[in-house]
Structures are given as C-alpha cells and as structure tokens.
Amino acid sequence: MSGVVSFTQMKDGAAEDYELLGRIEAEEMKAFPDRVLGWLRTMEDSAGYQISRLDHSLQAATRAHRAGEDEETVVCVLLHDIGDYLAPANHSEVAAAVLRPYVSDKNYWIVKHHGVFQGFYYFHHVGMDRHARERWKDHPHYQATVDFCENYDQCSFDPDYDSLSLEFFEPMVRRVLDESHLNSWA
C-alpha cells in the first residue's frame, strides 16, 4: 500500500486504509505542539495595541506564572487568543476548541467565555452591554473567568512589562498539549 488511501468514499475503505490514516494522525498529534507554537509566533502584529498580540500573550502568561497558577492554566492564558487570526468574531471559542481535549472543564470554560467577560472593560465604549457576562453569574466558573480577565488579560498590554520568553513557556506547552493528556470530553 502506498502513502494514500485506496478509497474515494470512506464507506469503501479497508482496514489497511484506516491503519495508514491512524499512523498519519499519530504523527500529526506529535507535531501539534509545534503547530500551536508556530501560531503564536505569527502573532507579531500589534493590531493597534502598543505591543504585539504575541507580547500580549506572553505578558498574560508571565503574570499567571508569577501568580503561581498551575501549568495548565498558564498555558491556557498563553494560548487564550490564538483564535484571533482564524476567527476574530469568535476567537475565544476557537481557542477553547483547540485546548478542549487537553485541559480541564474549568480552563476550557474560561477560555471559551473570556471574550465576553473581557468586554466588561470596553463594550460600553462601542455600544455594547459591558455586563453581558452577567448571563453566567450563577455558573461555577464565573468568578474564575472574571479573575482571569482582571488579573491576566485586560492588564497585559504594557510595553514596559518584563515578560518571559516564548522559549520559557515552550516546555509547558509541549507537556500540556502532549497526546498522553488527552481527556475524554467527547
């Protein structure tokens, strides 16, 4: 068998086809942390802020690390905006979907909803409801998401902050996104 499947419709596939695809997917899973780190490296533009989106992510993660957050949380803070390029209208949901198989329900929920919670700081300036987050006020992760935005996201646009490097966080990203940590969310 060559390096491609024999079928043109999945229902016609043979065991050998799916074994091949399984081997290819295993290689993709091993390379996933590299791909995510590559996405971070593409965030060098400022998008109008005083610092780049990458610097924002590094600054936020540095704050979380220095506050003593666990490694999974630090990685979630680092990656919370990776959906910006692919889906600016729902970047939080995209970032959360990328992280979901690897992180706790709490961190998934925080990343998924941080965009609306972050709106508390600016929605009223753009004709939106700054209190939109209140629809989740009774959710068990509501306060953790408020704290995430207050302590790590909204305050991490300072060009004078001494952030740790991406290389510092790289081993953490690799550990959290390791395929052996996949959870059973599906």
Confirm whether 1 is domain-assigned.
no
Q: What is the pLDDT of residue 38?
A: 94
Tell me the per-residue pLDDT of 168-183, one tens digit each, with 9 for 90 and over.
999 999 999 998 777 6
> Is 4 part of any domain?
no
Give residue 168's pLDDT.
Answer: 98
Task: Count the domains in the chain.
Answer: 1
Q: Can you tell me the mean pLDDT for 149-162?
A: 98
Q: How many CA atoms lie within 13 A of 125 on its CB side?
A: 5
- φ and ψ at 97, to 5 degrees? -65, -40
- pLDDT-derived band of residue 154, with 50, 70 and 90 as boundaries? very high
Q: How far is it, in rounded angstroms, from Cα 151 to Cα 133?
A: 17
Does 185 score more than 90 pLDDT?
no
162: which DSSP letter? Answer: -
Decide: residue 151, CB within 10 A, 0-12 exposed, 13-18 middle, 19+ buried: middle
H or E segment to which residue 142 belongs: helix 142-148
Residue 2 belongs to a domain? no
Q: Is a pLDDT exceeding 70 seen at residue 184?
A: no
Could you read off the pLDDT of 20-69 as tens digits, one per residue? 999 999 899 999 999 999 999 999 987 899 999 999 999 999 999 999 99
Residue 5 lies in a domain: no
Flag whether 95 is in a domain. Answer: yes
CATH number at residue 88: 1.10.3210.10
Q: Are 94 and 86 in contact (CB under 8 A)?
A: yes
* pLDDT at 157 > cutoff 90: yes
In a domain, 52, yes or no: yes
